Structure 1
Amino acid sequence: MDTDEEPDAVPADGTVPAPAQAGPARQRRHAELVGLIDDAQQAYYGRDAPVLTDAAYDAMMVELERLENEFPELRTPDSPTQRVGAPHEVTDFAPVEHPQQMLSLDDVFSVDELREWMARTVEALGAEPVWLCEVKIDGLAVDLQYVDGALATAATRGDGRVGEDITPNARTIEAIPRRLDASAPAPPPALLEARGEVFFPVEDFTALNAELERAGKQVFANPRNAAAGSLRQKDPSVTARRPLSMICHGVGAHTGLDVDRQSRVYEAFRAWGLPVSPYYECVAGTDAVLEFIAHFGEHRHDLLHEIDGVVVKVDDLAAQARLGATSRAPRWAIAYKYPPEEVNTRLRDIRVNVGRTGRVTPYGVMDPVRVAGSTVAMATLHNAFEVRRKGVLIGDMVVLRKAGDVIPEIVGPVVELRTGAETEFVMPTHCPECGVELRPEQESDKDIRCPNQRSCPAQLRERLSAAASRNALDIEGLGDEGAAALLAAGVLDDESRLFDLTADDLVRVEVFTRAATRKELTGERAAPAPGVVDGRVLSAVGVKLLANLEAAKGQPLWRVLVALSIRHVGPAAARALAARFGSMAAIRAASAEELADTEGVGAVIAASLRAWFEVDWHRRIVEAWAAAGVRMADEEPGRPVDDRTLSGLTVVVTGTLEGFTREGAKEAIVARGGRAAGSVSRRTDFVVVGAGAGSKAARAAELGRPVLDEAGFRTLLEKGPAGLAGKGPSAQK
């Protein structure tokens, strides 16, 4: 990694210099880490399809926190260190606002770090508390809301404030009671928000994968993915056929729950019929905590479900309240993560993959081996320098490490087991797909790339697939297989014609067609447009792809930016650029300085944007998409792009507005420089109340925060807070 110059030493006269500022190299590294973590969080929380190992993700978060602690000017409210999970994405499941934010947990990775956290907690409280220790379930976080004892909603974590409604699916899980037991010694409260993890029991997971394999279907990588895939089915009957279970480990909003300890919350849960872990214990002292951790570290594969660590909590609820929380995690709980598991396997070959920006990445092909709950046969090796640094040879017995995730890591070779038949990996000099000579983009780069960006089949295939992903234009039906088929059939030669595809084009692509019926072949019945070609007609999948392409034209500007595969421009940077400039034309016209000045963008992303738009065929893609009707501006007619009426303000919208969808209201706030929050606090500047508003309106009144109706909201958007002066109760209540 590049390094910046060391800051000047303290002068001899003893004066203290200004705080060190992050130099260009550290700014670039910070932007790179934010982009990688954003993408990983979207994959993990938004799609339940992790793209990084726990160990790799944790290492990046630690490095990011260290950078921001050393150079505080790099820390922004949108930094991954300041939030929980990924921003909510539009999916087939309706959004649900959690009555109380679902926080994440801070992690520690060593006994020394755990001791330090416990010592700080004891010092803050003035006495040693009782510690509640419980195993950390590797499942899918779920929030259950019970109203008057009946299950009202079940939702995923999402970004901690807004999740996805999975109520019909959750009702099929036997462990989740539809109604709490009213005969318990203490009756269920009027409102109870129970948090926990839905998981796939290990034994049942093995049986399910065997069944899927016999049926010729894709198997799940691990129990967590099986749980997520089962719970997010559009058809609840599919979920019902999967033996999912759940364990509750926390409480959110509630009314009438009168207990003083977390352990007594669990006792109440159990009495009401809610599932509680059999693997928790209240203990006194550090030694007892470490003993609990050591015991379950040795027996982690003997449990009902997969675990990846132990959570240590302060049991006393009043003490929890005194300790409080950061923006993303409570200060009264910590997750101790077990070291990643390691196994040995034979490295049979090292091959390379070409990504959407041309980066050529070597990966290992190994004898399949089961590690951390899944079978692994491939692992990334990052670049040729990493292969040499690790010292692995083709044919080596290698150490493979995996922390229950999808992407494993080759740690290094077992040198003692070498036979002399091993061979050294040689990085190819030419692209394996198009034959163009490979080279680094800059002299200092460790990665090499295929410079044939426009017509390299691998890069084009990856770009098309990325454009269709949920992070971008969300075009169902155009994944890896669809993109490859379109290119193989010669229907597309770059992205520019993507939105010009017609039924006549798709009927030439086998994956989007079906065999014609006899009547369609003989003309006895009118064939679906465009008719019969080589005995085939357009299938339902092909018809749906055309409809999805048409719908994708209306996606907001930030998604279009992500779909262009501009290096370094991920969802976070794209949202910031769309909010600041409002249109593709304004972004293209902006100087590097103006782009870099955008919050969350910086010099590296700005330079990448400017370089991208300097390429003529890149510009033709944008122009072709615009001509096809793809949305290229978010601003409303007559509103200046740089209108920042809500700059620095926090606005909460609750209830239903006639003129705005929930996502539309959020985008309107963000586009004007404001923050669209999900909960009301003393720092909230305005609360917009629509029809059917609930507890947030009451919370606003309790805290004395200004409340607006829809007319007032429109005034606020147009004129800012000054425009509300003198407004009556119809706008400002």
Structure 2
Amino acid sequence: MTTPGAVIVDAASYAQAVEDATKASAAYYAGGNSVLDDDAYDRLLRGIAAWEAGHPDQVLPESPTGKVAGGAVEGDVPHTVAMLSLDNVFSPEEFTAWTASLARRIGRDVARFSVEPKLDGLAIAARYTRGRLTRLITRGDGTAGEDVSHAIGTIEGLPAELAEPVTVEARGEVLMTALQFEYANTVRTTHGGAPFANPRGASAGTLRARERAYTVPMTFFGYGLLPVADTGTQLADRLGELAHSDLMTLAGELGVNTTATTAVPGITTDNVEQALARVREIAALRAELPFGIDGIVIKADLAADQQTAGSGSRAPRWAIAYKLPAVEKITRLLEVEWNVGRTGIIAPRGVLEPVEIDGATITYATLHNPGDITRRDLRLGDHVMVHRAGDVIPRVEAPVAHLRTGDEQPIAFPEMCPRCGAGIDTSEQRWRCVNGRNCHLVAALSYAAGRDQLDIEGLGHTRVVQLVDAGLVKDLADLFTLTRDQLLNLERMGATSTDNLLTAIGAAKEQPLSRVLCALGVRGTGRSMSRRIARHFATMDNIRAADADAMRQVDGIGTEKAPSIVAELAELAPLIGKLAAAGVNMTEPGVTPPAPRVDGADGSTESAEAAGGPLAGMTVVVTGAMTGVLEKLSRNQMNELIERAGGRSSSSVSKKTSLVVAGEGAGSKRAKAETLGIRLATPDEFAALVAEHVD
């Protein structure tokens, strides 16, 4: 579906739209402080273009439709070749129409397309003289740009010296990765500055900043390589004849960073259908990338096709940007709610003025923790940048500080637990009620009784509330000392319901240690981590005896997480003792303590017991709906199966993934596996591989 533009009804509203777009563009390219988010700006431009198409005799000379993006910014360094923008399409139909027009222009179908992510950064030209980086220039108005050579040495991916002493110009995008953005805001606020609203604005502001008291890193990704004065005829001719894909290969060989080093490398395709398939693949991986993209760039790959198609005053005719739905929008922060989780964690949640992002209406977003609120200087009434990608929980990035009116108010932090009124432990970044799990006992017990923990059938939320309100259960262990008479005295508890619940509680006593550990809800662990801890130590006694160094030996537990897990297990010691006294199992079946360690194929370690399984040394991801003998297994049971067979389960695909089990409806994870060349298996193939371990 085509993205609609802003509705412009007359010449006056058209003139106002042109003024708004020009100001927004100037503010963004000058320092990253646009009053409009990407989606609003795109809709405004499309509305302007639509009005101009119907009123060609009334087009204003300052209209942004005929100018290079960033044209409002003056530059004094001439470009050797015009540094143009790209025209946009927003749907498969628009893209197909563009390819048809390109085919008419060159007299035949395009021989080959290049497809690569459209990085959400700031375009620059990096000039190398005899292999040494000598100058950095912004896009400016496309014919001349601003000299930002003071930033040399602060941008990763732009080496100070190329692998060969050639004189060339590398063009590409400067951006901040997610980690660089977090670091930039931490440093900026430490020095008294307002936090950046988003990584792109941070890149724009940082690139132009001079004489700052601090430096923050950025990253360059190249998308072009061309000759400049003194390049030399032979090399210049060679660059002019190479396909775009070959230019990118050469850039990488010279040491310039390109998307070839990422999970979404540029590829070539032979036709429109393949190009659109790649668009879908990159879009599916968007949420998992460590940097922002706002679309996919498709180019005629061959130099001959590009030369025949030519360029307009604003954009080349042989390339197009397929824009993706915006994942960031500006809205207002109305309130902050403080919610208490099942382990007593007090989490702030932002209440937003409703805003639509990527097809979903967002009214709440995470604010992480009190320290994050302070560091970002968030205030009630602030205009804030909200980010949502795929199924990721929406989060508030930062206030859009230049939109403040002075009416914004400080966010009040709770002085006592908002649930039970007890004190608050503020010693860690995430604040916690001093009553811990007992503050939200109903939530803690409901979680413990869940299918993937102790699996106590008949103990739903309503029944848990009834038991807590009656004073029969004050912690998890009390469940296992309930008597038949106690239950029969409760409302709506007949003999059959009572006997069924007691049977289910009795069965829960026999659950493996990994499920008991998971039911305890130790912070920093979950179902997979609980299984790893249980399989590593085999018994609860061994777990409780482990210090931080011993806990770090468990796969996936690092130096930061280990001490907190050990401390919380010590805190839970009385409850664990009560559980053991009530007859709850405290061992992991099939594991012999202590399991000797062996080196895994990837340099990791694993237990000798697991090393002999068919998945030994493998990291396995399950995605999509399972079929056949695996159909009735929950995702948690699938992960348990993987670990019984010697493997490690994971929820995300990366270069370390060994196998992806792709069932029906597998989407982004399958696409990423195919991109990375990771082995794929159907549910039936996987079932055959681990047949001896399937219950």
TM-score, normalization: structure 2?
A: 0.45
Which one has the largest radius of gyration? 2
